Homo-oligomer: A and B are copies of this chain.
Amino acid sequence: MKTTYITRRETFNAAHKLWRPEWSDEKNWEVFGKCSNQNWHGHNFELWVTVKGNPDPDTGFVMNLKLLSQIVKLHIIEPLDHKNLNLDVPFLEGKMASTEVMAIEIWNILAPLVAMNGGELAKIKLVETENNYVEYYGGKEPF
């Protein structure tokens, strides 16, 4: 076996805030700082999707990147891009729009879709700024 990992990047731009309605303004500020600004702020997000597998002898591909890109664009980028993560995104409804939670929810959507297409989702990496990002391996703990 020659398990290889391929990664595709897609990007989206979105607004969000970190805010719990049942908390006071003071508590929200204390915990979330300027990320709790009531009127939102936003980011250019980078999403890196990693699929693992054995390269197909005919194509040399673990999975066709065009297909992977189409799946990610249709199911993840379309609902997130130029949207408000707290208000506009069905799969984030009622959840904190932290990068951790987003990465987990993105995994939950993509894992079965990638499997249906003969791949195995291995990792979601979500970059929020040049100074921070989140990685999720479906709950696995590689390190």
Interface residues of A (CB under 8 A from B): 1-11, 13-16, 18, 20, 31-35, 37, 39-44, 50, 52, 55, 58-62, 64-66, 81-84, 87-88, 95-101, 103-104, 122-123, 129-137, 139-143
Residues of B within 8 A of A61 (CB): 98, 100
**A62 CB to nearest chain B CB (Å):** 6
Partner of A135, one of B7, B14, B140: B7
Report whether A6 and B132 are in contact in the complex, using a CB–CB cutoff of 8 Å: yes
Residues of B within 8 A of A5 (CB): 134-137
CB closest chain-B residue, reference A86: B39
Residues of B within 8 A of A6 (CB): 99-100, 132-135
Report whether B43 and A4 are in contact in the complex, using a CB–CB cutoff of 8 Å: no
Report whether B13 and A41 are in contact in the complex, using a CB–CB cutoff of 8 Å: yes
